[in-house]
Amino acid sequence: MSAAPGRPKQTRTAALQGEGSPVNTAPLSVEQIPAGVVTLADHEAHARTRLDDNAWAYFSGGAGDEFTLRANCSAWNERLLNPRVLQPLAGGHTRVKLLGRTLAHPVLLAPVAYQRMAHAGGEVASAYAAAALGAGMVLSTQASFPLETVADAIAADPIRGPLWFQLYIQPDRGFTRELVQRAERAGYEALVLTVDAPTSGARDRERRTNFHLPAHISAVNLAGMAAPAQRTLQPGQSALFDDLLATAPTWEDVAWLQSITRLPVVLKGVLHPDDARQAAALGVGGVIVSNHGGRTLDTLPATASVLPRIVQAVAGELPVLVDGGIRRGTDILKAMALGASAVLVGRPYLYGLANAGALGVAHVLRLLRDELEIAMALCGCRTLAQAGPHLLFRPD
């Protein structure tokens, strides 16, 4: 793949330091982790000082009263670890296998739209960081950099994790097909179909701030797509159900997507066991237990609570990933003990991006990796293959 016009090729170290690339907009020549930032919670607190009210409402807000947003984090905290002592730990590691690849650790960057609102480097900076730390990355359909530019930035990196493309099926199925073909040509290794957001949630924070995209930021990968024809509604018809959702995707569209691509299709947003079983019956590549970070429908259960049911429903037929509320390495270990194949993080790395560009994202990933190793060692767990329900404390 050729380099994107106007963006010089550079080493991974230079990219992380913000040298000679769009990932550096700080007043210092080299971006640094802010003093005192040593946890993901610290990154969040500092990012609030870096993001304006408009961007903060978009990235941090949830739907409705944000019950699910809060529950995602608290549900992991409520699960307690049950360590073993004096276990052999020499040769331990965090490696896992996922969709035919061996990953250095089970952490992927979840799809987050419009990352240039947080930092000029946007998704390119996040991709550099993911590659440097061996993490997987899922690029959003609504990325603020072209999907080809992001893929090209890390294509030659020998230690990078998998690069997946998150997809919203568009009303124009022909445009969707072209988008899939672009992702295939660019070297993406899987399609992550978001299935839990046929419409946006009622996000009160965004409404209070009158959220709007800055003039220089857009969903560039959707450029050129024709606007759907507006339907004439009859009296009593709904503008949502009878117009906007008239072409909403169904299970038939999942099968159609599988028929037009050679890439595995992973369904993101599965919470019901019956949906998990239907996904397995279709032979999808995997499912992601997700409530969209609490951004779509409020009062959904926390993903930590749903994960065991989905794992049981698919009975090992396909990988089960989980996102939502992961803030510590202990959360990752708990997810693996509950049967997850890997986890995704969203808001935490966005906060790192806002704080220090690619270096901030890398710092978030490093913290999670280090904390995971510590948690494993202190639980007597040498590899993640040894993680299971026995690692979780159950009171009598």
Residue closest to 320 by CA, chosen among 343, 304, 293: 343
**Is 292 assigned a catalytic role?**
yes
Distance of CA 126 to the CA centre of its chain: 11
Q: How far apart are CA 102 and CA 162, in angstroms?
A: 9
Q: How far apart are CA 375 and CA 387, in angstroms?
A: 11
Which one from 43, 46, 105, 292 is the annotated catalytic residue? Answer: 292
Rg (CA), the chain: 21
Say which residues have a Cβ less than 8 Å from residue 220's Cβ, sequence separation at least 6.
Answer: 143, 144, 145, 146
Q: How far apart are CA 336 and CA 389, in angstroms?
A: 9
Beta-carbon count within 10 A of 246 CB: 11
Q: What angle do CA 125, 129, 133 make, to 5 degrees?
A: 170
Please report which residue ranges of the chain form alpha helices under DSSP H. 12-17, 40-50, 53-60, 67-78, 122-132, 147-154, 173-186, 204-209, 251-260, 273-282, 303-314, 329-337, 347-378
Q: How far apart are CA 17 and CA 387, in angstroms?
A: 36
- Let me know: does 263 contact 222? Beta carbons within 8 Å: no
- Let me know: does 335 contact 345? Beta carbons within 8 Å: no
| Residues carrying an active site annotation | 292
